[in-house]
Amino acid sequence: MEILAILIPVSLFLGGIGLAAFFWAMKTKQFDDPEGDAQRILTKEFDDKPRQ
Amino acid sequence: MTTVEHFAEGRAPVSACPACAVVPSAERIAAMRAERDGRIMLSLPLAHGAACIATVESALSAVPGVRSARVNLTRKRVSVEAAPGVTPAQLIAVLAGEGHEAHELDPGLLSSTETDRQGRDLLMRLGVAFFSMMNVMLLSVAVWSGAEDATRDLFHWISAAIALPTVVFAGQPFFKSAWASLRAGRLGMDVPISLALILASSISVYETWMSGHHAYFDAAVMLAFFLLLGRYLDHRTRAIARSAAEELAALEVPRAIVLLDGVEVETAISLVVAGDTVLVRPGARMPVDGVVLTGASEVDRSLLTGESLPVQAQPGTVVSAGEVNLTGPLTLRVLAAGKESSLHQMADLVAVAEGAKTRYTSLADRAAGLYSPLVHILSFSAFGYWMWATGGDVRYAINISAAVLIITCPCALGLAVPAVITSASGKLFRKGLLIKHGTALERLAEVDTVVFDKTGTLTMGVPEPVALADHPPQVLALAAALAAGSSHPLARALAEGAAALGIEAVAVTDLREVPGYGIEGAWQGTRIRLGRADWCGATAIAQTATYLAVGGQTHAFAFTDRPRPGASEAVTALQAVGLRIELLSGDAEAPVRDLALRLGITDWRAGVLPAEKAARVAELSAAGRKVLMVGDGLNDTAALVAAHVSISPATALDAARVASDIVLLGQDMAPIADAVRIGRQSARRMVENFVISGGYNVIAVPLALVGLATPLAAALAMSLSSITVSINAMRLK
């Protein structure tokens, strides 16, 4: 049962990373234009260096 | 004219700010030009695909003065950051050169959809509730499958550490609205929800403290998650409708051309004050109420009064905001602008009436009204009974009453309506109908009478020549030649009609348009005219018509209003499902009778005043009928508000669109019949959903009352009922 002392914190930590990622996505408006973002990856623009 | 002058003098001080009079016009010109700085929003209705994003953004960025351009493909818009000198018209021209259709949007009207704070807030809480639900459930499954003693207690404590902050954070929307309804002395749906959340959490903490067997942490977070899901669906449906409605409003950019010291300045209507001189070009809508100073033209008042025949305008004529200038440029002296204009005052009236519309109690509210007291009574009587039966075991009695509150699972009840509305709104949106109001579908299901407006609703407001082939080809050729020189709607329809018959226009020289009267020219040495009856020396006929004078002879070309595509299908389909149909129009008798015959409507009235329309709708309502009003003009707005539920086409005036519950986005009218059908279906699904969630309670509540309910049973009842309800909602066809 000692293994629980490791497994539970690990599972909570991993879940926490997911939650933090979700918070970041909401704060930086990643869901504002889902359709446009899906199309944008198809263009060759800014493939070599990111947009300034 | 003198009365008009007097009217203007008397009106001016009301709206003109005292400071404006002293500001020199050069400074006002600068102020008006400066107003358009910064962000420009354009609508791209046909945008799709990656290539489109790339061409639009690079074309706009290449324009000097543009700092950045970003396309939002989901909303089909592009927002441009630009230097003050850049005008929307310039950008639209650039995009047209690239083959993209673009329209200017008023950024001020779009602000609320740009930052959907409430939606993001709900989504954030939903995410947190989901995370906790998954983690707590993981621990709960271990407990259910037989974790004992210290392990069970440890798992309960960890669950508490996750669930308590979640309930505090994710439950806030419910706590707030429960508190608000308690303070207002009502027992809303959110009161039992909040009570269940608080009671479940606190009893579980106590049980954990006492090393008890059952803790309801999973039930508490699950309840929060499912209820937030219902809330979010509800919010999103409304946000989509609101954003589409705002986009329609933002497409009509409120601009006016003001003449200051002989300089034309295009500016926002909000900066125009009474006493200014405004130029209105042919084809444009009057931005303000005013009196004509110079110019002669015809104005189309159909949106305001329902008359399909244009009215003559000359110096001294008073015009209202919203009328369309047809033939010649007009300069107006402004009598009232912006908030003072008659159009705006009408819209304000509608806003007041909007508030009155909330007297309709939705199905969800009625269900909550039954449900909330029942749950509280059940829970309290369970507490009382077990206190008596166990001889004062408070812990046991509270446990039972909490189990009752949790297991009555209002989560299915919370999802019952939003799931159906989301599904139905999505279906109708794809058919071109925008559901603006949350209860519109339920009200649509109850409708038994449909009242239609004519001009602009059942008809397109576009004239169509009648029996053109009956005229001699020679006459038609002359008429077509003259008509080709004018942009008046009747002339355009005549030219198109003649071209469709394969008639070639003859060569006419010295073409000259006399604004407000017609067009004249020379043919084989004689003067010929096409236009108003009195100007052509003809006797007017009863129908909408234009007249041709050749030598001493006159010919009349009669017109009828073209019915909207799908109008007759919609009327037939509505009659087939047993609805009574009426046609109320402000237009003259002949065109109304013709249209009624053509569409098979037996109940029709012509020459109806705006107040009479509203009175007729009120009369029908008083007789116990549920009226669906379909209209587009300012003369319909009062009736739209008075009706049980209302629909307006996207081409309607802003005030009419605001007043109606549903907006028809396309030209085709047939979707109205679909709307009624889907509305009836949705109401049925909602009732079914209430029955389903009630059914689960019938099984689960007795178990809880006798003390047999476990956290596992609560979790099963909650998730199963929520899923069944959602699946039932998706059965809509």
Would you state the pLDDT for residue B32? 62
Classify residue B282: in a domain, yes or no.
yes
B149-170 vs A4-27: helix crossing angle, rounded to 10: 10
State how beta strands B103-105 and B509-514 pair: unpaired
Residues of B in contact with A34 (CB under 8 A): 74
Residues of A in contact with B169 (CB under 8 A): none
pLDDT average, residue stretch B680-692: 91
With an 8 Å Cβ cutoff, is A2 touching chain B? no
Classify residue B181: in a domain, yes or no.
no
Residues B341 and B57: their CA atoms lie apart, in Å, by 39
Residue among A19, A31, A39 minimizing CB distance to B131 = A19
Would you state the pLDDT for residue B205? 92
Classify residue B518: in a domain, yes or no.
yes
Q: How many angstroms away from the CA of A49 is the closest CA of chain B?
A: 16
State how beta strands B627-630 and B449-452 pair: parallel
Higher pLDDT, A27 or B248: A27
Q: Do B667 and B570 have their domain in common?
A: yes
Q: Do B490 and B578 have their domain in common?
A: no
- Rounded to the nearest integer, the mean pLDDT of chain B is 81
pLDDT average, residue stretch B321-338: 81
B220-229, B337-346, B468-477: least confidently modelled range: B337-346
Q: Give the HSE-up count for residue A7: Cα atoms under 13 Å, Cβ half-sphere.
A: 8
Residue B105 vs residues B78, B91, B110, B254, B344: alpha-carbon distances, Å: 10, 12, 8, 10, 19
pLDDT at B257 over 90: no
Instruction: Test A36 with B73 for CB contact under 8 angstroms.
Output: yes
Which of B106, B153, B289, B453 is catalytic? The answer is: B453
Residues of A in contact with B126 (CB under 8 A): none
Higher pLDDT, B19 or B293: B293
Domain boundary, last residue among B310, B336, B362: B336
Would you state the pLDDT for residue B262? 75
Higher pLDDT, B3 or B352: B352
Is the Cβ–Cβ distance between B292 and B314 less than 8 Å?
yes
Beta-carbon count within 10 A of A50 CB: 6
Domain boundary, last residue among B680, B699, B723: B680
Which of these, B197, B486, B23, lies nearest to B189 by C-alpha position?
Answer: B197
A positions 17-36 inside 8 Å of B (CB): 18-19, 22-23, 26, 31-36
ipTM for the complex shown: 0.85
What CATH number has the domain bearing residue B506?
3.40.1110.10
With an 8 Å Cβ cutoff, is B146 touching chain A? no
Classify residue B490: in a domain, yes or no.
yes
Residues B316 and B6: their CA atoms lie apart, in Å, by 12
Q: Do B671 and B656 have their domain in common?
A: yes
A35-49, B22-36, B460-474, B515-529: least confidently modelled range: B22-36
B107-114 vs B217-251: helix crossing angle, rounded to 10: 170
pLDDT average, residue stretch B155-160: 91
Q: How many angstroms away from the CA of B74 is the closest CA of chain A?
A: 5
B19-33, B620-634, B672-686: least confidently modelled range: B19-33
Would you state the pLDDT for residue B353? 53
Q: Do B312 and B331 have their domain in common?
A: yes
Q: Do B530 and B606 have their domain in common?
A: no
Segment of B513-522, B605-614, B721-730 carrying the highest mean pLDDT: B721-730
Burial degree of B369 (CB within 10 A; 0-12, 13-18, 19+): middle
With an 8 Å Cβ cutoff, is B161 touching chain A? no
What CATH number has the domain bearing residue B633?
3.40.50.1000
pLDDT at B546 over 70: yes
Would you state the pLDDT for residue B31? 63
Residues of B in contact with A33 (CB under 8 A): 72-75
Instruction: Test B124 with A23 for CB contact under 8 angstroms.
Output: yes
- Rounded to the nearest integer, the mean pLDDT of chain A is 83
pLDDT average, residue stretch B553-564: 82
Torsion of CA B515, B517, B521, B525, to 10 degrees: -140
Task: Give residue A44's pLDDT band: very low, low, confident or very high (50, 70, 90).
Answer: confident
Higher pLDDT, B32 or B363: B363
Q: Do B620 and B490 have their domain in common?
A: no
Task: Give residue B272's pLDDT band: very low, low, confident or very high (50, 70, 90).
Answer: confident
For an interface test with A, the pick among B120, B125, B221 (most A C-beta atoms closer than 10 Å) comes out as: B120
With an 8 Å Cβ cutoff, is A9 touching chain B? no
Instruction: Test A45 with B71 for CB contact under 8 angstroms.
Output: no
For an interface test with B, the pick among A2, A27, A32 (most B C-beta atoms closer than 10 Å) comes out as: A32
With an 8 Å Cβ cutoff, is B69 touching chain A? no
Residues of B in contact with A28 (CB under 8 A): none
pLDDT in tens, B66-118: 888 888 887 788 888 888 778 888 888 888 888 888 888 877 666 555 557 78
What CATH number has the domain bearing residue B17?
2.70.150.10
Q: Is B599 helix (H, G, I), strand (E, B) or coil?
A: helix
Instruction: Test A32 with B49 for CB contact under 8 angstroms.
Output: no
Would you state the pLDDT for residue B132? 92
Would you state the pLDDT for residue B306? 67
Instruction: State the residue range of the domain holding B568.
Output: 433-460+564-680
pLDDT at B126 over 90: yes
Q: How many angstroms away from the CA of B75 is the closest CA of chain A?
A: 7
Instruction: Test A26 with B135 for CB contact under 8 angstroms.
Output: no
Which of these, B335, B298, B292, B281, lies nearest to B317 by C-alpha position?
Answer: B292
Is B149 labeled as catalytic in the residue annotation? no
Segment of B245-259, B435-449, B543-557, B678-692 carrying the highest mean pLDDT: B678-692
Closest Cα in chain B to A33: B74
Which of these, A12, A22, A16, A20, lies nearest to B139 by C-alpha position?
Answer: A12
Q: How many angstroms away from the CA of B317 is the closest CA of chain A?
A: 49
Would you state the pLDDT for residue B1? 36
Q: Two tokens at B7?
A: 């009217």
Which own/partner contact pairs does B350-354 have at CB distance under 8 Å and 24+ positions apart?
B350/B637, B350/B638, B350/B640, B350/B641, B350/B655, B350/B658, B350/B659, B351/B658, B353/B638, B353/B641, B353/B642, B353/B659, B354/B641, B354/B658, B354/B659
What b/e sequence results for B584-620 when a residue is b if at least 16 CB atoms lie within 10 Å of its CB, and e otherwise? bbbbbeebbeebbeebebeebbbebebebbbebbeeb
Is the Cβ–Cβ distance between B645 and B444 less than 8 Å?
yes
B131-135, B353-357, B449-453, B687-691: least confidently modelled range: B353-357
Which of these, B524, B528, B544, lies nearest to B536 by C-alpha position?
Answer: B528
Higher pLDDT, B445 or B238: B445
State how beta strands B311-313 and B277-280 pair: unpaired
Closest Cα in chain B to A31: B120
Residues of A in contact with B131 (CB under 8 A): 15, 18-19, 22
Torsion of CA B238, B243, B248, B250, to 10 degrees: 140
DSSP structural state of residue B359: G
Closest Cα in chain A to B130: A19
> How far is residue B148 CA from its own chain's centroid?
58
Domain boundary, last residue among B562, B597, B613: B562
With an 8 Å Cβ cutoff, is B175 touching chain A? no
What CATH number has the domain bearing residue B57?
3.30.70.100
Annotate B404-435 with DSSP letters as a single string.
HHHHT-HHHHHHHHHHHHHHHHHHHHHTTEEE
Run of H or E including B527: strand B526-531
State how beta strands B603-605 and B580-584 pair: parallel
Instruction: Test A33 with B73 for CB contact under 8 angstroms.
Output: yes
Residue among A12, A26, A42 minimizing CB distance to B123 = A26
pLDDT at B485 over 80: no
Domain count, chain B: 4
With an 8 Å Cβ cutoff, is B169 touching chain A? no
pLDDT average, residue stretch B349-366: 62
Q: How many angstroms away from the CA of B727 is the closest CA of chain A?
A: 26
Classify residue B58: in a domain, yes or no.
yes
Would you state the pLDDT for residue B166? 94
Residues of B in contact with A39 (CB under 8 A): 49-50, 53, 73
Task: Give residue B4's pLDDT band: very low, low, confident or very high (50, 70, 90).
Answer: very low
Residues B556 and B527: their CA atoms lie apart, in Å, by 17
pLDDT at B19 over 50: no
B671-705 vs B363-389: helix crossing angle, rounded to 10: 0
Residues of B in contact with A3 (CB under 8 A): none
B2-6, B187-191, B265-269: least confidently modelled range: B2-6
Classify residue B389: in a domain, yes or no.
no
pLDDT average, residue stretch B562-571: 86
Q: Do B622 and B522 have their domain in common?
A: no
Instruction: Test A42 with B50 for CB contact under 8 angstroms.
Output: yes
Task: Give residue B36's pLDDT band: very low, low, confident or very high (50, 70, 90).
Answer: low
Classify residue B557: in a domain, yes or no.
yes
- In sequence order, what E strands does B249-376 have? 255-260, 263-268, 277-280, 289-294, 297-300, 311-313, 318-319, 324-325, 330-336
Classify residue B255: in a domain, yes or no.
no
Closest Cα in chain B to A43: B50
A40-49, B451-460, B681-690: least confidently modelled range: A40-49
Higher pLDDT, B384 or B638: B384
Task: Give residue B163's pLDDT band: very low, low, confident or very high (50, 70, 90).
Answer: very high
Q: Three-state SS string across B69-113, please? A: EEEECCCCEEEEEECCCCCHHHHHHHHHHCCCCCEEECHHHHHHH
Task: Give residue B352's pLDDT band: very low, low, confident or very high (50, 70, 90).
Answer: low
Q: How many angstroms away from the CA of B491 is the closest CA of chain A?
A: 44
Q: Do B508 and B552 have their domain in common?
A: yes
What b/e sequence results for B464-475 when a residue is b if at least 16 CB atoms lie within 10 Å of its CB, and e otherwise? ebeebeebeeee
Residues B276 and B282: their CA atoms lie apart, in Å, by 19
Q: How many angstroms away from the CA of A30 is the closest CA of chain B?
A: 11
Q: Do B648 and B570 have their domain in common?
A: yes
For an interface test with A, the pick among B72, B126, B148, B157 (most A C-beta atoms closer than 10 Å) comes out as: B72
Residues of A in contact with B71 (CB under 8 A): 36
Q: Do B477 and B528 have their domain in common?
A: yes
Q: How many angstroms away from the CA of A48 is the closest CA of chain B?
A: 16
Percent pLDDT > 70 in chain B is 89
pLDDT in tens, B624-667: 889 999 988 777 887 888 888 999 888 777 777 777 888 888 78
Residues B151 and B134: their CA atoms lie apart, in Å, by 19
Residue among B53, B72, B123 minimizing CB distance to A43 = B53
Q: Do B20 and B71 have their domain in common?
A: no
Residue among B50, B128, B151 minimizing CB distance to A40 = B50
Would you state the pLDDT for residue B22? 44
For an interface test with B, the pick among A2, A3, A8 (most B C-beta atoms closer than 10 Å) comes out as: A8
Instruction: Test A39 with B49 for CB contact under 8 angstroms.
Output: yes
Q: What are phi and psi of B87, to 5 degrees?
A: -105, 150
Residues B472 and B586: their CA atoms lie apart, in Å, by 34
Which of these, B564, B561, B592, B559, lies nearest to B491 by C-alpha position?
Answer: B559
Q: Which residues pair with B527 in a beta bridge?
A: B522
Q: Do B449 and B569 have their domain in common?
A: yes
Residues B269 and B256: their CA atoms lie apart, in Å, by 6
